[in-house]
Amino acid sequence: MAYPENLLYNKSHEWAKIEGEEATIGITSFAQEQLGDITFVELPEVGDTLEFGDELGSIESVKAASELYMPVSGEVIAVNEELEDAPEKVNEAPFEGGWLIKVKLTDEPKDLLSATEYAELVASEAH
């Protein structure tokens, strides 16, 4: 499977799209496939400041509940409110309409994987 080259990934299967001082964050297609049909997403509040590696919320599916982790450090400036009524958007378009939050970066992104490195990680976990 190909992962968008314009994104950075962390090992817990979240992605970050860095645009200037802002980042959009979501979960990868691999993560949503592992979870199955997503039924609920719990996200932070606008104004919350979270550090790299902090828990940013949780996601529930018919199979499991899973924590979500920050791939970057930043202050939450937007939350995808559509997910409250339509959490399945994460399954349908994990890299677009299914984004989770947007943050204003408070630190340089670090320890993130390129699309190629992330694909190798997923391949190694699948075996």
51-95 per-position pLDDT tens digit: 999 999 999 999 999 999 999 999 999 999 999 999 999 999 999
3-state secondary structure of 90: helix
Q: What is the mean predicted confidence (pLDDT) over 36-46?
A: 97
CA distances from 125 to 29, 80, 103 (A): 14, 29, 29
Contact 27, 16 (CB under 8 A): no
Q: Is 27 helix (H, G, I), strand (E, B) or coil?
A: strand
What the chain holds in terms of domains, given with CATH numbers, is 12-108 (2.40.50.100)
Name the nearest CA neighbour of 51 among 23, 70, 66, 26: 70
Residue 127 pLDDT > 80: no
Q: Residue 39 above 80 pLDDT?
A: yes
Its pTM stands at 0.95
